[in-house]
């Protein structure tokens, strides 16, 4: 049996890929399967584009015949590649001056080699699977979609938690609460979130959780729009805000599959996002925006804001939907692919 080697430039970083890696490694340890995590061993302060090239050279040179590479990075010698970061060649085209950053040339170069050379590719949505096929002409047979998984709450008590949050932040308990969670406001659509709020005809309270280097710009925009949205920064207790909220809106420009949708569903939020988010594949059409600027969604949001019974029914439905996307199920499907390639 070969030893499985996971590739991640910085496995100690805090993000979805690192959490995913921790979960898979835990299962391997439980089953006594040989494994190793291989990270970048050079100067951590060099630019990202150079680090990506050096890491590719490092791991491909180190690979031995008795090892199988499971990569979470774009490298040319992976056996299994999890495309959790999507297709950079598609994403970069959303940026007007993308050609000024060397990373936007390096990543497409590496991801082409990665997609072509890998024996198996794992995507976290069909949205990304289709992009890989169309952009790089990759055989669909070697791509398998495994949706993300999250830690599901044991119990959801929205009334109690909303009472606590409203008391703490001086919000009107009688008003529905609308939530946004995400850092990097431009790509994830905070401006568009605020525009949607401005377009609503109902009473509500709203909260934004996350960070951005230009956060003052968004706070000023909120004031200019005449909104009272609270900006609470990064929180360790974000789950309480999911539980307290009635509606979750995430008008992102590009997401392979955002875990915030699964997390919000699991706490009974009525969720809205764009078709540019792979997580939209698990939602019904009425909750999917054609683009981050699709203001027609405001009418649907108003419909739920003005009908407590409809809101409650959808809330319970979403909790049930989320149960299909546990961490345990995600790891189980990932392990099946690993086991197919170990011998």
- pLDDT digit string (tens) for 106-145? 999 999 999 999 999 999 999 999 999 999 999 999 999 9
User: Is residue 198 domain-shared with residue 63, that is, in the same domain?
Assistant: no
H runs (alpha helix) in the chain: 16-30, 48-62, 88-92, 103-117, 126-136, 158-168, 185-188, 190-198, 215-224, 238-244, 259-266, 297-305, 308-322, 327-341
pLDDT (0 to 100) of residue 120? 97
- Cβ(39)–Cβ(10) under 8 Å? yes
Tell me how many degrees the CA angle 135-139-142 measures, rounded to the nearest 5: 115
> Could you tell me the pTM of the whole model?
0.92
12 vs 262: CA distance, rounded Å:
23
Question: The tokens 């703490």 sit on which residue?
Answer: 168
User: Is residue 122 domain-shared with residue 246, that is, in the same domain?
Assistant: no
Question: The tokens 């979750």 sit on which residue?
Answer: 248
Please count the structural domains in the chain: 2
290 vs 296: CA distance, rounded Å:
9
User: Is residue 139 domain-shared with residue 186, that is, in the same domain?
Assistant: no
125 vs 107: CA distance, rounded Å:
20
User: Is residue 26 domain-shared with residue 115, that is, in the same domain?
Assistant: yes
pLDDT (0 to 100) of residue 31? 82
pLDDT (0 to 100) of residue 17? 81
User: Is residue 164 domain-shared with residue 142, that is, in the same domain?
Assistant: no
Domain that holds residue 52: 3-149+327-341
When mean pLDDT is compared across 13-22, 63-72, 122-131, 279-288, the lowest value belongs to 13-22
User: Is residue 185 domain-shared with residue 45, that is, in the same domain?
Assistant: no
Residue 148 phi, psi (nearest 5): -60, 160
pLDDT (0 to 100) of residue 274? 98
Write out pLDDT tens, residues 10-55.
988 777 788 888 888 888 888 888 899 999 999 999 999 999 999 9
User: Is residue 311 domain-shared with residue 184, that is, in the same domain?
Assistant: yes
Q: What is the DSSP string of 169-204?
A: TT--TTS-EEEEE-SSHHHHTHHHHHHHHHT--S--
Average pLDDT, the chain: 94
User: Is residue 171 domain-shared with residue 293, that is, in the same domain?
Assistant: yes
156 vs 343: CA distance, rounded Å:
43
Work out the angle between the directed axes of helices 297-305 and 190-198 (0-180°, nearest 10). 60
User: Is residue 122 domain-shared with residue 235, that is, in the same domain?
Assistant: no
User: Is residue 132 domain-shared with residue 226, that is, in the same domain?
Assistant: no
- Cβ(42)–Cβ(51) under 8 Å? yes
pLDDT (0 to 100) of residue 13? 79
Question: The tokens 């959808």 sit on which residue?
Answer: 314
Q: Tokens for 114?
A: 């990665």
Q: Kindly report each contact of residues 164-171 with a partner whose C-beta sits within 8 Å and lies 24 or more positions away, as own/partner.
A: 164/240, 164/244, 165/240, 165/241, 165/244, 166/205, 166/244, 169/207, 169/230, 169/232, 171/205, 171/230
Beta bridge partners of 272: 249
189 vs 338: which has the higher pLDDT: 189
pLDDT (0 to 100) of residue 25? 86
CATH code assigned at 197: 3.40.50.2000
16 vs 42: CA distance, rounded Å:
23
User: Is residue 122 domain-shared with residue 27, that is, in the same domain?
Assistant: yes
User: Is residue 24 domain-shared with residue 141, that is, in the same domain?
Assistant: yes
Write out pLDDT tens, residues 157-205.
999 999 999 999 999 999 999 999 999 999 999 999 999 999 999 999 9
Write out pLDDT tens, residues 218-250.
999 999 999 999 999 999 999 999 999 999 999
pLDDT (0 to 100) of residue 224? 96
């Amino acid at each position: 049996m070969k030893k499985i080697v996971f590739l991640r430039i910085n496995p100690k970083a805090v993000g979805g890929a690192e959490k995913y890696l921790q979960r898979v490694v835990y299962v391997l340890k439980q089953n006594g399967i040989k494994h190793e995590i291989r990270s970048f061993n050079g100067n951590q302060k060099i630019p990202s584009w150079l680090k990506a090239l050096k890491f590719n050279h490092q791991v491909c040179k180190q690979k031995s015949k008795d090892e199988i590479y499971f990569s979470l990075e774009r490298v040319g010698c992976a056996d299994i590649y999890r495309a959790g970061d999507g297709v950079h060649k598609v994403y970069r085209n959303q940026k007007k001056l993308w050609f000024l950053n060397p990373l936007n040339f390096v990543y497409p170069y590496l991801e082409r080699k990665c997609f072509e050379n890998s024996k198996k590719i794992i995507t976290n949505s069909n949205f990304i699977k289709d992009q890989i096929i169309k952009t790089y002409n990759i055989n669909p047979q070697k791509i398998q979609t495994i949706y993300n998984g999250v830690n599901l709450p044991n119990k959801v008590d929205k009334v109690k938690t909303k009472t606590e949050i409203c008391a703490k932040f001086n919000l009107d308990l009688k008003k529905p609460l609308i939530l946004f969670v995400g850092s990097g406001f431009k790509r994830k659509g905070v401006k568009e979130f605020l525009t949607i709020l401005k377009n609503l005809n109902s009473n509500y309270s709203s909260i934004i959780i996350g960070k951005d280097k230009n956060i003052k710009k968004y706070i000023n925009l909120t004031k200019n729009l005449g909104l009272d949205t609270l900006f609470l920064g990064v929180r360790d207790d974000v789950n309480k805000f999911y539980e307290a909220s009635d509606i979750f809106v995430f008008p992102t420009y590009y997401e392979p599959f955002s875990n915030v949708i699964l997390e919000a569903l699991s706490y009974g939020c009525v969720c809205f996002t764009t078709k540019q988010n792979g997580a939209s594949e698990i939602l019904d059409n009425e909750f999917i925006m054609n683009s981050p600027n699709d203001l027609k969604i405001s009418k649907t949001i108003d419909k739920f804001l003005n009908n407590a019974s409809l809101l409650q029914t959808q809330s319970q439905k979403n909790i049930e939907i989320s149960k299909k996307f546990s961490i345990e199920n995600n790891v189980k499907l990932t392990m099946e692919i690993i086991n197919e390639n170990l011998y």
